[in-house]
Structure 1
Amino acid sequence: MATDPPGLDLTALARYLLRLPDAGAHPAGRLHARLLAGGRSNLTYLVTDDTHRWVLRRPPLGHVLATAHDMNREHRVLTALAGSAVPVPRTVARCDDAEVIGAPFYLMEHVDGIVYRDDDQLAACSPAAAAKIADALVDALVALHTTAPAAVGLSDFGRPVGYLDRQLRRWRTQLDASRSREVPGFDRLGDRLAATTPPQAPSAIVHGDYRLDNVIIDAHDPARVLAVLDWEMSTLGDPLSDLAATVMFWDGVSGLETVITATPGDHRAFPRRARLLDRYAAGTGADLGALPWYLGFAHYKLAVICEGIHYRHTRGETVGAGFDRIGGLVPPLIERGHACLED
């Protein structure tokens, strides 16, 4: 007999959906669900009634850091960007009542396409397809960063002034909340970043975790992004922080068994980071002179996230495979973050 996946009470979900005024969200039969790959922070499920397919997002089980895993934030930005130049899934419902399934959640449409998150997928790409994927990834980021927040009702979505300083404080606080061991160089990297923070670039809507496995690529046209996913860290802030994260996941973690996602830079078909940077600069007119600092910060932020996941795993509060290896990523990420600041 099928059982509910961890963290999702399907009977309670079905009752909730049937009460919605939008009949298009009503299940036509018994619900089934499975935990999707990825989503190592918020939990992501594919839900179906054998007629329709939706994706449900909810916070992780157990230890949840303050300000993280905000379902309202994800739902708001997705809803706001619908119809803009930024491709996003259509939102279906949002539930703030934690009593329904045990946590707030939202539901969105399922978008058919390819999420490139494992090495077999990347290895199967030709150089021509890989170049198109790289360009499409950058073009969607350019579309996001050139969308005026006020034009989509997001002028109050964050406080862009002082963004970099707040980000550093936030991630140092997150680290303090997840400490279970000492990692050499961790605190020193935070100190170095704080001492060399560059002037902030003009603000934009930032995704906060922009990388290849957080977009859906058209299966028939690798030059087209169908949807950008995983908006839990989105806000108004410095767009170069997004670009740096994209580049880090593209080839900055090359050679590491990241567990989180496959690395395009580990595959010869995929272009080097210079192609991405040149295309982004051409599309936005941004000055990339301070990018080494942003890359150092990207490594630091990922290390803090991994340390938080490691902490939850040691407490038995993670769902899915591969969490036992994430803690091992933290030391090399810290080393590479320091190396970025030497450039």
Structure 2
Amino acid sequence: MDADPPGLDLARLAGHLQRAGLTEGPLTAELIVGGRSNLTYVVRDAERTYVVRRPPLGHVLATAHDMAREHQVMSALRDTAVPVPLMFHLCRDAEVIGAPFFVMEHVEGGQPPLTPALAHALVDVLAALHSIAPGSVGLGDFGRPEGFLERQAARWKRQLDASRSRDVPGFDDLYERLIRDVPPQGGSAILHGDFKLGNTLVAGGEVRAVLDWEMSTLGDPLTDLALFLLYGEVAALDPAAGRAVGAVSEAGGEAPPLPIEAGAELAAHYGEASGRDLSRFGWYTGLACFKLAVIAEGIHFRHAMGLTVGEGFAGIGEQVAPLVARGLMEV
């Protein structure tokens, strides 16, 4: 049996999956690098390949890395137009490998450059996700849609207050503008919560699977669209900073070769595909800017304290003020 990758006891996993009727014989495994949250492994026996997903090492909040929740939403979407891996097994018993985990289908694919055609395909997937009535797939109680936008703004304000280390002009003003003029929620939908190219698998120009559903919930679908478009914008402006905030996966190669102006056309395409009103979309872009600015400020704070290393982290603080200014232009 191969050496155990970090966080995965192969002998215990093999015994558990054999009892569940999923595998035979010894297992080999490798950790998929580049992830920033839950750990993902490619696991093989003599005949088949699976993917195993578990929370990060160390102490984590169950609500932030809920394996059952992520397994639930992908299981629910199995027979819809949203491409997701097949779910094979959920283990809630932390004694098996040290944490709850699930086993899913291994889907071939990667993250190629974000061409216009692929960007449109991703927007179509997002529109398809948002068109699914949550109750029709058993997700009617998957979240609390009422007051979702207000809670989002307040959540990221708390995150900001927890990582302040300097004065960034306009940060508080952006928050005040957001909470002062929250738009009426444009319906409720299943949200991915972190939709971007790096959380998909693509092959032959086709989106083969949408992954990393740990932030999924029910809420206003335009938050998904605004964050997706802003991720592309950040990555195009500064590839290193884009990788630092997760706009581009570390294995995803160069920044997307899309002009910033493409965002408006993609938003219009989403509006046509979904039939949703985008007249207040500037507010959602402002919220996305606030969220990414808070994330970047937190990374800057941790880097200044010597708690992070890696490409893009040293300069991530320089992206905060432009994100805040961008948000103020929109709200």
TM-score (norm 1): 0.82
- The code of the aligned residue for 1:239 comes to P
Of residues 144, 166, 170, the one that matches 1:159 is 144
Contact 1:42–1:58 at 8 Å: present in 2 too? Answer: yes
Distance in 2 separating the partners of 1:16 and 1:165: 43
For residue 338 of structure 1, what is the aligned residue in structure 2?
325
1:328 to partner: Cα distance: 3.9
**Could you tell me how far 1:91 is from its partner in structure 2?**
0.6
Provide the rounded CA distance (Å) in 1 between the counterparts of 2:54 and 2:307: 14
Q: Secondary structure of the residue that 2:207 maps to in structure 1? A: strand
- Written as runs of structure 1 = structure 2, the 5 A alignment for 1:125-140 is 130-140=115-125
Q: 2:107 corresponds to which residue? A: 111
Q: Residues 296 and 63 (structure 1 numbering): CA distance in 2 closer, same or farther, change over 3 Å?
A: farther
Residues 330 and 83 of structure 1, relative CA distance in 2, 3 Å threshold: farther
Tell me how far apart the structure 2 counterparts of residues 334 and 132 of structure 1 sit (CA, whole Å).
Answer: 32
Structure 1 residue corresponding to 2:219, chosen from 222, 234, 237: 237
Q: Residue 192 of structure 2 contacts residue 217 of structure 2 at CA under 8 Å; is this kept in 1?
A: yes
Instruction: Give the 3-state SS of the residue equivalent to 2:119 in structure 1.
Output: helix
Aligned mates of 1:18, 1:174 — CA distance in 2: 43
What is the match of residue 274 of structure 1? 264
Amino acid at match of 1:273: G
CA distance in 1, matches of 2:41, 2:31: 4
Calculate the TM-score normalised by the size of structure 2.
Answer: 0.85
Unaligned runs of 5+ in 2: none
Q: Using the alignment, how far apart are the partners of 1:210 and 1:86 within structure 2?
A: 12
281-290 vs 308-317, greater mean Cα deviation: 308-317
Give 1:157 shift.
Answer: 0.7
The one-character-per-residue Cα deviations of 1:114-146 (angstroms, maximum 9, x if unpaired) are x21xxxx42xx8xxxx23212211111111000
Give the % identical residues. 49
Aligned to 2:7: 7
Shift of residue 150, structure 1, vs aligned partner: 1.1
* Cα deviation digits, residues 274-318 of structure 1 (max 9, x gap): 331121010111121222221222233234445566778899998
The separation in 2 between residues aligned to 1:42 and 1:70, in whole angstroms, is: 9
Letter in 1 for 2:105: E
Shift in alpha-carbon separation, 1:311–1:333, aligned structure 2, 3 A? closer
| C-alpha separation in 2, matches of 1:334 and 1:225 | 34
For the residue of structure 2 that corresponds to 1:18, the secondary structure is: helix
- What does 1:218-257 correspond to in 2, within 5 Å? 218-219=203-204, 222=205, 224-256=206-238, 257=240
Q: 1:203 to 1:30 in 2, by over 3 A?
A: same
Please tell me the residue identity of whatever aligns with 2:54.
R
- After TM superposition, give the deviation of residue 194 of structure 1 in Å: 2.3
Deviation readout 1:44-73 (Å, 9 max, x if unpaired) = 221112421111222222353573122111
Residue 335 of structure 1 deviates from its aligned partner by 2.8
Partner of residue 72, structure 2:
76
Whole-angstrom distance in 2 between the partners of 1:193 and 1:63? 33
Letter in 2 for 1:19: R
**Residues 1-343 of structure 1 mapped to structure 2, 5 A cutoff:** 2-20=2-20, 23=21, 25-26=22-23, 28-62=24-58, 64-65=60-61, 67-113=63-109, 115-116=110-111, 121-122=112-113, 130-176=115-161, 179=163, 181-182=165-166, 184-185=168-169, 186-219=171-204, 222=205, 224-256=206-238, 257=240, 258-259=242-243, 260=246, 261=248, 266-267=256-257, 272-306=262-296, 323=310, 325-326=312-313, 328-343=315-330
How far apart are residue 89 of structure 1 and its match?
0.6
Q: Distance in 1 between matches of 2:180 and 2:254?
A: 32
The one-character-per-residue Cα deviations of 1:11-49 (angstroms, maximum 9, x if unpaired) are 2211221221xx2x22x3322222213321212221112
User: Which segment is superposed worse, 152-161 or 34-43?
Assistant: 34-43
Q: State the secondary structure of the residue aligned to 1:94.
A: strand
CA spacing shift, 1:310–1:184, aligned 2, 3 Å: closer
Answer yes or no: is the 8 Å Cα contact 1:208–1:231 preserved in 2: yes
> Structure 1 residues 258-267 or 153-162, which shifts more?
258-267
- Contact kept in structure 1, 2:55 and 2:101, CA below 8 Å: yes
2: CA distance, partners of 1:317 / 1:93: 35
Which deviates more from structure 2 when the two are superposed, residues 244-253 or residues 269-278? 269-278
Task: Measure, in 2, the Cα distance between the counterparts of 1:15 and 1:310.
Answer: 43
Deviation of residue 249 (structure 1)?
1.4
Number of aligned residues:
321
Q: Distance in 2 between matches of 1:183 and 1:108?
A: 45
**C-alpha distance in 1, partners of 2:304/2:101?**
25
